[in-house]
């Protein structure tokens, strides 16, 4: 008898736990759900530090909400995970995934309470999902260039200024080009294209600056020395530097690092006017750093100095140098514009990287490989998001980011009819799927 009482008590506790868990799911999903669709409303989130956030993005709302009840919070975390996974895979559609998750959990709890086997329900959901994804692919259509602005605008809350800007960015750098977002300094949105290869490494020393007003280094018809190791001794550079002095060409050194003694020699020669020179650390880390150096070498027609391939810095001459029609360095960035003579080699390199993208397992890896293609191909579009206040800026940037991700997904996977019509069509197919 006591055993029966214990089992009854356990059943009550389990039932109570599920009710509380579902309450947490509903609290978060109801809050996130108000942002759904083009008529979705904003959510104001209090911040412990700084101004409040105004957001219209499901995953951002989900990340910020913590419920006091620990069991309710577990339910909220389940939904949050669904939103985060969707954001990682597609970059948008997070609110829809939360609303669908809420519906699946609500119906699942009902049928389990009625005595259905939860394992069989899970298998059924997985099988149905697979069939519906195939159906979704069959009814999707390739997005036309003329439709890109509409796709982006719908995701940005019918904001056609944002939609047109994203469509213009893609037209300038190509569908597979890189489009990045920055926080602007003005109230207006701006779009510009960085010509050539740009990466986040600037000059090692401000003494290399050629334009004191812009605090930048600018050279035309410049040579590049690419070294896949740390430069410790200035004597290793004598041959190259003497060639530069004799021929009068500017030279930029890209190396893993340059130690103080060697750097001081370069700076002194620059300040004396004997050399037009600058130096920077190679972009990336580890294996990716070596790949970036190879990309720069192919763009400029140079050779990367590596001891493992039999090249020693103190033995080589100007035959290993690459050539750029223009190079600009700031304290944070470097832009290299090729002279066009290596286009065939660049095309081959791009084809190789595309093969790597197809074989890549992780989204981060694919993203980095796509960046390399865009840099080699000669252009990155940058959208600067402008606003009157910091709060407005954060909210606008999230909307533009969603719109950009939705457009990229449309280019990659195609588009379907929106407004819930496709979900309604898929719902009519569920009963026909055999268990």
When pLDDT is averaged across residues 56-67 and rounded to a whole number, the result is 83
Decide if 220 is inside a domain.
yes
For the cut 90, the answer to whether the pLDDT of residue 418 exceeds it is no
Nearest residue to 224 (alpha-carbon basis) of 276, 290, 172: 276
For the cut 60, the answer to whether the pLDDT of residue 2 exceeds it is no
For the cut 80, the answer to whether the pLDDT of residue 305 exceeds it is yes
Q: Mapping DSSP to helix (H, G, I), strand (E, B) and coil, where does residue 257 land?
A: strand
Decide if 418 is inside a domain.
no
For the cut 60, the answer to whether the pLDDT of residue 110 exceeds it is yes
Identify any residues that bridge with 225 across adjacent strands, giving them in sequence order: 253
Q: What is the pLDDT of residues 332-366, one digit of tens each?
A: 989 888 887 888 898 899 899 989 888 888 878 88
Residue 325: CATH number of its domain: 3.50.7.10
Whole-angstrom Cα distance, residue 319 to residue 341?
Answer: 16
> CA angle 247-253-255, nearest 5°?
150
**Residue 14's pLDDT band (cuts 50, 70, 90):** low
Q: Are 259 and 231 in contact (CB under 8 A)?
A: yes
Q: Is the pTM of this model over 0.85?
A: no
Whole-angstrom Cα distance, residue 22 to residue 71?
Answer: 9
Instruction: Count Cβ atoms below 10 Å from residue 5 Cβ, excluding itself.
Output: 9
Greatest alpha-carbon pair distance for the chain in Å reads 102
Residue-level pLDDT at 257: 92
- Looking only at the bridges linking them, the beta strands covering 53-55 and 322-329 are unpaired
Edge-first strand order for the sheet with 379-385 is: 178-183, 379-385, 190-195
Paired tokens of 67: 């419920």
Residue 154: CATH number of its domain: 3.30.260.10
For the cut 90, the answer to whether the pLDDT of residue 268 exceeds it is yes
Residue with tokens 């929106």: 418
**Residue 49's pLDDT band (cuts 50, 70, 90):** confident
Residue-level pLDDT at 130: 93
Residue-level pLDDT at 4: 47
Q: Are 116 and 380 in contact (CB under 8 A)?
A: no
Identify any residues that bridge with 334 across adjacent strands, giving them in sequence order: 199, 329
**Residue 271's pLDDT band (cuts 50, 70, 90):** very high
Whole-angstrom Cα distance, residue 17 to residue 353?
Answer: 51
In our burial notation (b when 16+ CB lie closer than 10 A, e otherwise), range 349-365 reads: bbeebeeebeeeeeeee
Contacts of 280 (CB under 8 A, 6+ apart): 201, 202, 203, 204, 252, 253, 254, 329, 334
Q: Do 192 and 292 fall into the same domain?
A: no
Residue 74: CATH number of its domain: 1.10.560.10
For the cut 50, the answer to whether the pLDDT of residue 5 exceeds it is no
Decide if 341 is inside a domain.
no
For the cut 70, the answer to whether the pLDDT of residue 427 exceeds it is yes
For the cut 70, the answer to whether the pLDDT of residue 9 exceeds it is no
For residue 179, report the phi and psi dihedrals to the nearest 5 degrees. -120, 125
Paired tokens of 212: 């004191």
Residue-level pLDDT at 66: 87
Residue-level pLDDT at 265: 92
**Residue 435's pLDDT band (cuts 50, 70, 90):** low
Q: Do 192 and 213 fall into the same domain?
A: no
Q: What is the pLDDT of residues 370-408, one digit of tens each?
A: 888 878 876 678 888 988 888 888 888 888 888 888 888
When pLDDT is averaged across residues 243-257 and rounded to a whole number, the result is 92
Range of the domain at 298: 198-332
**Residue 3's pLDDT band (cuts 50, 70, 90):** very low
Q: Do 229 and 155 fall into the same domain?
A: no
Q: Do 210 and 165 fall into the same domain?
A: no
For the cut 70, the answer to whether the pLDDT of residue 1 exceeds it is no
Whole-angstrom Cα distance, residue 24 to residue 17?
Answer: 11
Higher pLDDT, residue 180 or 189: 189
Nearest residue to 352 (alpha-carbon basis) of 298, 414, 419: 298
Whole-angstrom Cα distance, residue 264 to residue 231?
Answer: 12
When pLDDT is averaged across residues 128-151 and rounded to a whole number, the result is 90
Q: Do 206 and 328 fall into the same domain?
A: yes
For the cut 80, the answer to whether the pLDDT of residue 328 exceeds it is yes
> CA angle 160-53-406, nearest 5°?
35
Long-range contacts of 311-318 (CB under 8 A, 24+ apart): 313/227, 313/229, 313/231, 313/236, 313/237, 314/235, 314/236, 314/238, 314/239, 315/239, 316/239, 316/240, 317/239, 317/240, 317/243, 318/223, 318/240, 318/243, 318/244, 318/247
For the cut 60, the answer to whether the pLDDT of residue 324 exceeds it is yes
Decide if 429 is inside a domain.
no
Decide if 205 is inside a domain.
yes
Q: Do 237 and 318 fall into the same domain?
A: yes
Residue-level pLDDT at 363: 76
Q: Do 109 and 13 fall into the same domain?
A: yes
- For the purposes of burial, counting CB atoms within 10 Å of the CB of 212, is it exposed (0-12), middle (13-18) or buried (19 or more)? exposed
Q: Please tell me the total count of domains within the chain.
A: 3
Paired tokens of 393: 């800026």
For the cut 90, the answer to whether the pLDDT of residue 181 exceeds it is no
Chain-centroid distance of CA 387 in Å reads 22
Q: Do 191 and 209 fall into the same domain?
A: no
């Amino acid at each position: 008898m006591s055993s029966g009482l214990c089992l009854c008590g356990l059943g009550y506790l389990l039932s109570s736990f599920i009710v509380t868990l579902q309450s947490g799911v509903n609290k978060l999903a109801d809050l996130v759900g108000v942002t759904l669709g083009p008529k979705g409303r904003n959510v104001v989130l209090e911040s412990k530090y700084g101004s409040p956030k105004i957001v219209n993005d499901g995953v951002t709302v989900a990340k910020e909400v913590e419920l006091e009840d620990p069991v309710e919070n577990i339910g909220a975390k389940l939904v949050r995970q669904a939103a985060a996974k969707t954001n990682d895979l597609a970059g948008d559609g997070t609110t829809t995934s939360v609303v669908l998750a809420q519906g699946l959990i609500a119906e699942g709890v009902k049928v389990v309470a009625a005595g259905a086997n939860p394992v069989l329900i899970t298998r059924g959901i997985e099988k149905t999902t697979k069939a519906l994804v195939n159906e979704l692919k069959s009814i999707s259509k390739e997005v036309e260039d003329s439709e890109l602005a509409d796709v982006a605008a719908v995701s940005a809350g019918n904001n056609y200024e944002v939609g047109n800007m994203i469509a213009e960015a893609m037209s300038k750098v190509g569908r597979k080009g890189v489009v990045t977002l920055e926080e602007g300094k003005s109230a207006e949105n701006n779009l510009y294209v960085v010509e050539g290869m740009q990466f986040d490494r600037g000059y090692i020393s401000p003494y290399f600056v050629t334009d004191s007003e812009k605090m930048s280094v600018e050279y035309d018809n410049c040579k590049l020395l690419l070294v896949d190791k740390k430069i410790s001794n200035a004597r290793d550079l004598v041959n190259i530097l003497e060639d530069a002095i004799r021929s009068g060409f500017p030279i930029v050194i890209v190396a893993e690092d340059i130690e103080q003694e060697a750097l001081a020699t370069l700076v002194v020669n620059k300040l004396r006017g004997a050399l037009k020179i600058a130096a920077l650390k190679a972009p990336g880390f580890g294996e990716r750093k070596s790949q970036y150096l190879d990309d720069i070498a192919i763009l400029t027609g140079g050779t990367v100095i590596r001891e493992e391939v039999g090249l020693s810095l103190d033995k080589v001459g100007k035959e290993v140098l690459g050539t750029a029609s223009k190079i600009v360095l700031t304290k944070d960035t470097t832009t290299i514009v090729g002279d066009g003579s290596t286009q065939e080699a660049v095309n081959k390199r791009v084809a190789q990287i595309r093969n790597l993208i197809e074989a890549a397992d992780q989204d981060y890896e694919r993203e980095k490989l796509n960046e390399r293609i865009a840099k080699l191909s000669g252009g990155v579009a940058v959208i600067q998001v402008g606003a009157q206040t910091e709060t407005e800026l954060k909210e606008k940037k999230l909307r533009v980011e969603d719109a950009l991700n939705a457009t990229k997904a449309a280019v990659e996977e195609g588009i379907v009819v929106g407004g819930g019509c496709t979900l309604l069509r898929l719902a009519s197919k569920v009963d026909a799927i055999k268990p």
